[in-house]
Amino acid sequence: MSNIKVIFIFIMGCCVFANSELDIQIKTTSKAYVNDQVDCVISVSNNTNHVIKNIIVKHQVPAGFTYRGQKTGQFALKWRITSLQPKASKQFIFSLHTLSEGIFAMLTQVFVVDKLYEIRSTINVVVPKLIVEVTASSKYIFVGQQVVLKIKINNIGSGSAYNVNVLGVLDEALKCINSKPKSVKSQQDLLDNLQWKIPEIASDQEIVLEVIARGVGIDQSFPFSDKVYNGRNAYRVVVKASDKEYSDTCHVQVDGQKMYMHISTYDMADPVRLNQETVYVTMVRNEGTTITTNIIVNSNLPKQMEFVSVKGSHYIYNKNIHQVKFAKIESLQPGEKVIYKIICRVIKEEGTAKYSAYLRHDQFNRYILDEEGTSIYK
């Protein structure tokens, strides 16, 4: 048993000791998930032409695993080979069950008389952890107006999430008109149920789903239809993966009256760099069937930008609150529109800049808001 030469090999979760008398091998996986079954095979082979007796095999199992649902914490599995014939092999097959996340060291020991041989291996036990966030492009809309609902699913865990099922449920006052990517849609109890199946969300990967919905009127025979117009209407998303459930809810209030005026904004350059200019375009349009009067439009500029000028409109710029107030529009006929253009220059590098535009008129005594984000990079 002297002058033993040892070679350590780690290939595909397989650890091998090779020597002139004994070959010792353990085969197992190098990566597993929490609550997985990990199958292990320890092989001991006699390479000599004589019998080797009294071989003791131990496999040290760290905390984070259980064996047959009983042993937890650090423990050892032990076997004895009374005698091993020349050129013969003996295998020990067992399964462990993972309990927790982490990188765990496994130790296999073989004792022959006064000799000790050790094989060390590791198993990385991973788990997916999903964060679900639902946002709306507007928290207040009118019947007939559209709202964009976004679902962000971010896997911050150490392992992939497989076969992820996403369910989005729209309340009665919201009607889905499109989704990206296309969802599997079913109508149940007058609610729009949207479903997606995602094969895999890798670690550190973010998935974005988008739903375009419209505020709709409700048949007066529908129970509690008055509450649809007076309260907040929810868009609830439930995500199921790896036997766990994640959820988030976004509220959008739908006003029962048809919107008279529409406001929309966009930027003409996005993304932008430091000292670069961009133009924010705001359009207001009468989408009603009657004249609207005394229309007021204000714009709040991003804190990362400085005001440069306005194209084609009378205005007052308030430097203290970083706001542009446009001259009042006396009236707009159905279908008429007005376009405003504000030129800004980037003065700070701070991620995403937010531009806001507000609309108000005689026929509606609350402000209608639209926002536009601009990415700033170095």
- Where does residue 232 rank: exposed (0-12), middle (13-18), buried (19+ CB within 10 A)? middle
38 confidence band (pLDDT: 50, 70, 90): very high
Question: Is residue 358 in a domain?
Answer: yes
Tell me, yes or no, whether 198 and 280 share the same domain. no
Which among 75, 93, 126 is the end of a domain?
126
Q: Is the pLDDT of residue 231 over 70?
A: no
Instruction: Pick the more confident residue, 135 or 349.
Output: 135
Q: What is the pLDDT of residue 87?
A: 93
CB 332 within 8 A of CB 360: no
Per-residue confidence band for 185, with pLDDT thresholds at 50, 70 and 90: low
Instruction: Look at residue 5 in the predicted model and tell me its pLDDT.
Output: 28
Q: Are residues 177 and 278 in the same domain?
A: no
**pLDDT value, residue 258:** 60
Domain annotation covers residue 297:
yes
105-126 pLDDT, tens digit per residue, is 989 999 998 888 888 889 999 9
224 and 341 in a single domain? The answer is no
Distances (CA, A) of 42 to 24, 47, 66, 89, 307: 7, 16, 18, 10, 73
Domain check: are 91 and 45 in the same one?
yes
For residues 148 and 11, which has the higher predicted lDDT (pLDDT)?
A: 148
Contact 352, 375 (CB under 8 A): yes
Residue with tokens 């962000």: 152
Phi-psi region of 30 (alpha: psi -120 to 50; beta: other; left: phi over 0): alpha
Specify if 305 maps to a domain. yes
Nearest residue to 152 (alpha-carbon basis) of 205, 215, 214, 192 = 205
Task: With cut-offs at 50, 70 and 90, classify the pLDDT of residue 20.
Answer: low
Domain's final residue, options 258, 293, 328: 258
**For residues 168-179, average pLDDT:** 84
Is residue 139 scored above 90 in pLDDT?
no
Residue 126, classed as helix, strand or coil, is: strand
- What confidence category does residue 186 fall into, taking pLDDT thresholds of 50, 70 and 90? low
Report yes or no on 2 lying in a domain. Answer: no
User: Which of the listed residues 208, 232, 258 is the one where a domain comes to its end?
Assistant: 258
Q: For residue range 261-270, what is the model confidence (pLDDT) as tens digits?
A: 888 899 998 8
- Determine the 3-state secondary structure of 203 from DSSP: coil
- Residues 266, 253 share a domain: no
Using one digit for the tens of pLDDT, what is the confidence trace for 84-105? 999 999 999 999 999 999 999 9
pLDDT recorded at residue 56: 94
Identify the weakest region by mean pLDDT among 199-208, 212-221, 300-309: 212-221
Of the candidates 63, 62, 28, 32, the residue with the CA atom closest to the CA atom of residue 43: 28
pLDDT of residue 50: 92
The predicted structure's pLDDT at residue 259: 61
Domain that holds residue 38: 7-126
Confidence bin at 191 (pLDDT 50/70/90):
low
**Does one domain contain both 223 and 323?**
no
Phi/psi for 203 (5° steps) reads -60, 135
Question: Is the model's pLDDT at 51 over the cut of 90?
Answer: yes
User: Is the domain of 193 the same as that of 247?
Assistant: yes
For the segment 55-73, the average pLDDT, to the nearest whole number, is 88
Residue 1 lies in a domain: no
pLDDT, residue 256, reads 64
- Mean pLDDT along residues 343-365: 85
CA distance 351 to 374: 8
Q: Is residue 362 part of a domain?
A: yes
Domain count for the chain: 3
What is d(CA 179, CA 146) in angstroms, rounded to the nearest whole number?
13
Same domain (yes/no): 120, 172: no
* Shared-domain flag, residues 209 and 270: no
By three-state DSSP, how is residue 338 classified?
A: strand
Please report, for the domain that includes residue 265, its CATH number. Answer: 2.60.40.1530
Separation of alpha carbons 82 and 210, rounded Å = 66
DSSP string of 154-187?
A: EE-SSS-EEEEEEEEEE-TTEEEEEEESPPEEEE
Same domain? 187 vs 254: yes
pLDDT of residue 251: 83
Looking at the structure, tell me whether residues 172 and 206 fall in a common domain.
yes
Identify the pLDDT of residue 145.
77
Tokens of 121: 């291996």
**CATH code: domain of residue 106:** 2.60.40.10
Same domain, 273 and 342: yes
